[in-house]
Structure 1
Amino acid sequence: MVLSFLFRGSLLSLCLLLSAGRSVLCLVEDASFSFSFQGFQETPGSEAGIALYGDAVVVNSSVRITKPRALSRGRVMYRRRLAFGRKPSFSTYFSFSISPQKGDGLAFLIAPSSVPQESLDGRLFGVSPGVFAVEFDTSMDSEYNDPNGNHVGVDLGSATSVIVGNVSKLSLVLNNGEKLHAWIDYEGDSKILEVCLSKSEFPRPSIPVVSFPVDLSGLIWKNSMTVGIASSSGNSTQTSALFAWNFALKHAAAYLMHSEPLDPRPFFNPPNQPQDHMRRDYLPGVLIGLAFGAVCGAMVIILALFAWTAFMYRRPLGPVEYSVHPVECENEKMAAAAAYLSAGGAVKV
């Protein structure tokens, strides 16, 4: 009975530990973060989640990122630093418009927090080493191998795009002053980046303007990144406006944000073999290790209880001897005496 009780108790403990470990793993895998701005308020301080830089200012529930003058630059940045995790997956949507002049357009940025903010206000959206950008370019710069003045480009730490999509093929013009919708999605498992674009009256198209296989885990997985939308007018009076902005981060690191200086140089000279980034303060790994250790410890305890129980309650097996009861002997004597009398003998007292 004791053995059964110990076995049931150990089995229950193991089930609880396995359930806790599964919960920890699900927490790590399902960690996510998102924000949404369907409009912007003019009251100072009402939009605590965003920060405006350069010439960016709220006007009529939208953000006018650049002013109608040459060399105007501005940015809309989310204030919170984000931890993308080791398998970064994200989606963002924003609604924007660009006036008809031939300026630089605008770009969606993901930058290490260690990159100086003033460098992001430079020409060509401030794209610099360590910065990931999707640009909606309205000028043709042969210096950067632009195909035309109406394209979408993917920038990995350089103003020269690694791939471009011709917006003209969609019968769209980026800088005609019309409100447009943009979707940017990156899936960390498939490592596919997609960019979709449409007019405001149309839904998201099924065919992206850019679909590009790229591994961003070495660029944006760090735990101190900022996201934003930047614009520059170049040598024109082009203006850009932002009307709405949503962002979702999937499979994020379960811990939240703190500053960490980053060296962007290894991102653009990757080794031939992938590197394991081991971090002592990486909470998901610690939790997984604790859950695994608890399960192993429970199994060791169960085995020890089995061994101890088997040793303590073991009984020797062998033949059992029973002594002859005295009553049986008396019965045999009485039977012998009765037989003797019936034969005519006398009993001596």
Structure 2
Amino acid sequence: MILFYVHFKILALAEDHNQFIYNDFHAAKLHLDGLAQIHPNGLLQLTNTSTDQISHAFYRLPIRFNTSSSVLPQTLSFSTTFIFAIVSEIQNFNFCGHGIAFTISPSTNFTQASPSTFLGLLNSKNDGNTSNHLLAIELDTARNVEINDINGNHVGIDINSIKSYVSAPASYYSNSEQKNKSLLLKSGDPMQVWIDYDEVENLLNVTLAPIRSPKPDQPLLSTHIKLSSILLDSMYVGFSSSTGLFTGNHYILGWSFNKSGQAQNLDLSKLPSLPPKIKPAKKPSPGIIVSLITVSIVFIIIISGTAYFVWMKKYEEIHEDWEQEYGPQRFFYKDLYKSTKGFKDEELLGAGGFGKVYRGVLPSSKEQVAVKKISHDSKQGVKEFVAEIASMGRLRHRNLVHLLGYCRRKGELLLVYDYMPNGSLDKFLFSNEEPTLNWTQRFQILRGIASALHYLHEEWDQVVLHRDVKASNVLLDADLNGRLGDFGLARLYDHGANPETTHVVGTVGYLAPELTRTGKATTCTDVFAFGALMLEVACGRRPIVPQGLPEKMILVDWVLENLKQGSILETSDPRLEGNYLEEEMLLVLKLGLLCSQYNEEARPSMRQVMQYLDGNALLPDILFDSTGIGTFSVTNDTSSEFVLSFPSTVPKSSAHSMCSSESIFNSGR
């Protein structure tokens, strides 16, 4: 008898847990966030006229969907119905944002979600991931061509993505007239939605109708979906809503849900009422009306035209049809403008030959980014250029500053990167405002940049040349890990130029000698620049010091001369005060010399540089003869001898190339 009672109680609790009905939301067990609130009359309001906001209202307790591990027999079938109203911010206008979505989600935490198009459910990074385990029925009142929305008034079924699996214009089947009739979702009139899923047939039906109409015999959407492969055992049910540039009031009047049968019908007589619509003031006389209308029309035309022109010019972009395939990596200029506070000087992070960099906070995700503005007036190669940006946006390495996307506007190009809170390496090396980096930190930064260059040269599906490796392009994250930034930007200026000879780009002191002769960048020219960086980090001196003593003006010559004299450790940064491992310091100084040779064919590849830094290969000894010429041997299948030469000396011989001479974005390695 006791066991029967306990079993009965378990079944009763499960039944209460699996179904509920709210004809108003006074005592509803809901989890609310964002702008969501319950009015005194029991009306649930999700959003209001605030821009770029998201809101959620979910049933507080999780519900068992996939019950393969449960002791209680239950199917995946479910049924729900709710009544909603979307009231446009501006009556009789087509502007309203952005819609409501009934949602089944594994979590009620949407802190990473974006407003506007993403309806407060996903963001640009996780949209489309199968790991989302998300089902949403969207009532969308804004069209986004980038995700193939059919119009700005539709109902869609979304699976793990804001891009609808299937959708249809908002309408309902009239049982009495036996035909479909259109509905305007943002009309402000209450409407009812029925969502029913049959696990046996794997059939999901979505039905829509005005509040006073019976449930139509034919659903608006009917599609076969196997939800057992999408939903987890424990899921939450509820509503998500968002606004963007345009806003609207989103309401839920009543809601019924049943996991184990047909959802109960809502009692229309018990539903809360919507806030009254604003009524116009007492009508003036006809004569006054005519005069006011005439003056107002002229005034509105002038002001609206001017305001619209100014607004459009302020946020005007260049956007061509072929760019649609790069949609996820395209940022709106309006968002970048707002994120940087109008590109104010107070948000300026730095400036260089290629443009200015600003700190920004994206209004949708609140993510910190760095926005770089550069000129791009050339009309040649724009399509190839954007394709190159999109390709580089796919580069992923822990020691690269990730390129998140771009925007084109008039003669400007804007590139959006990860934000690095500790700024650039050169500030730590040469500014008294920053603390001195210890040797362990410096060595790890060099190793990280070497790893990034090895990835760019050999490990990605195409060869990528950085072409401007230097301390100011090495950025430090919150943990002082080095990340190579601005990769490939110099190359972007060469579209339409002769591929055999390009403009020499880069920074004096890091430019390989052959680059000034041929203008052709190779992986060897990147290795040369990295060699200069290694010496710079170890010695705490810039590659060229014009105001310095003649014997110390060229860093590589100074280090080489000290090597000849047996005093190379004296070139180490005095701020380190000798606190370093001699083996590592010697390795970095000698490897820096090895990479900075005049003879490009004798420089190591970045793969070999990594082997030396990791201790997986022995760095060859450098021996000097009576004339001061140094030689070393490199084992690479066979043993070969090379002459050690530098920009201030004359090359004595050539040998088999250790670097790749492939140009940027060759098809493979």
Q: Give 1:40 shift.
A: 1.8
Of 239, 247, 268, 2:257 maps to 247
**1:1-349 mapped onto 2 (5 Å cutoff):** 33-41=18-26, 46-47=27-28, 49-59=29-39, 60-86=41-67, 87-100=75-88, 101-113=95-107, 116-120=109-113, 122-123=115-116, 124-125=118-119, 126-127=121-122, 128=127, 129-168=132-171, 170-220=181-231, 222-250=232-260
- The one-letter amino acid paired with 1:179 is P
1:112-150 CA-to-partner distances (Å, cap 9, x unmatched) read 13x733235644221452211010111111011111111
State the match for 2:531 in structure 1.
Answer: none
Asked whether the equivalents of residues 233 and 239 of structure 1 are also in contact (C-alpha less than 8 Å), the reply is no
- The one-letter amino acid paired with 1:71 is D
Asked whether the equivalents of residues 53 and 115 of structure 2 are also in contact (C-alpha less than 8 Å), the reply is no
- The one-letter amino acid paired with 1:94 is F
Change (3 A) 1:37 1:175: same
Q: Matched residues in 1 for 2:233 and 2:102: separation?
A: 19
1:242-272 CA-to-partner distances (Å, cap 9, x unmatched) read 1001111028xxxxxxxxxxxxxxxxxxxxx
Q: Equivalent residue of 2:163, what SS?
A: coil
Q: Equivalent residue of 1:236, what SS?
A: coil
Q: Matched residues in 2 for 1:111 and 1:201: separation?
A: 30
Q: Matched residues in 2 for 1:122 and 1:141: separation?
A: 13
Change (3 A) 1:207 1:116: same
Q: Matched residues in 1 for 2:105 and 2:113: separation?
A: 9
Q: Matched residues in 2 for 1:236 and 1:117: separation?
A: 21
State the match for 1:343 in structure 2.
Answer: none
Q: Matched residues in 2 for 1:121 and 1:58: separation?
A: 23
Q: Equivalent residue of 1:109, what SS?
A: strand
Q: Matched residues in 2 for 1:37 and 1:53: separation?
A: 19
Q: Matched residues in 1 for 2:238 and 2:60: separation?
A: 9
Relative to the length of structure 2, the TM-score reads 0.31
Asked whether the equivalents of residues 115 and 243 of structure 2 are also in contact (C-alpha less than 8 Å), the reply is no
Which is further off, 32-41 or 116-125?
A: 116-125
Q: Matched residues in 2 for 1:102 and 1:145: separation?
A: 18
| Larger-Rg structure | 1
Q: Give 1:224 shift.
A: 2.0
Q: Equivalent residue of 1:175, what SS?
A: coil
Q: Equivalent residue of 2:186, what SS?
A: coil
Change (3 A) 1:107 1:145: same
- The one-letter amino acid paired with 2:84 is F
1:133-168 CA-to-partner distances (Å, cap 9, x unmatched) read 010111111011111111111110001001002215
- The one-letter amino acid paired with 1:55 is L
Q: Matched residues in 2 for 1:72 and 1:99: separation?
A: 16
Q: Equivalent residue of 2:111, what SS?
A: helix
Relative to the length of structure 1, the TM-score reads 0.59
Q: Matched residues in 1 for 2:80 and 2:182: separation?
A: 23
How many residues are treated as equivalent by the alignment? 219
State the match for 1:314 in structure 2.
Answer: none
Q: Which has the higher contact order (CA 8 A, sep 6+)?
A: 1
Q: Matched residues in 1 for 2:206 and 2:154: separation?
A: 11
Q: Matched residues in 1 for 2:114 and 2:255: separation?
A: 20
Q: Give 1:85 shift.
A: 2.6
CA RMSD of aligned residues (A): 2.3
Q: Matched residues in 1 for 2:197 and 2:144: separation?
A: 27
Q: Matched residues in 1 for 2:248 and 2:182: separation?
A: 21
- The one-letter amino acid paired with 1:58 is I
Identical-residue share of aligned pairs (%): 32
Q: Equivalent residue of 1:160, what SS?
A: coil
Asked whether the equivalents of residues 154 and 169 of structure 2 are also in contact (C-alpha less than 8 Å), the reply is yes
Asked whether the equivalents of residues 54 and 121 of structure 1 are also in contact (C-alpha less than 8 Å), the reply is no
- The one-letter amino acid paired with 1:38 is N
Q: Matched residues in 1 for 2:137 and 2:45: separation?
A: 19
Q: Matched residues in 2 for 1:172 and 1:98: separation?
A: 12
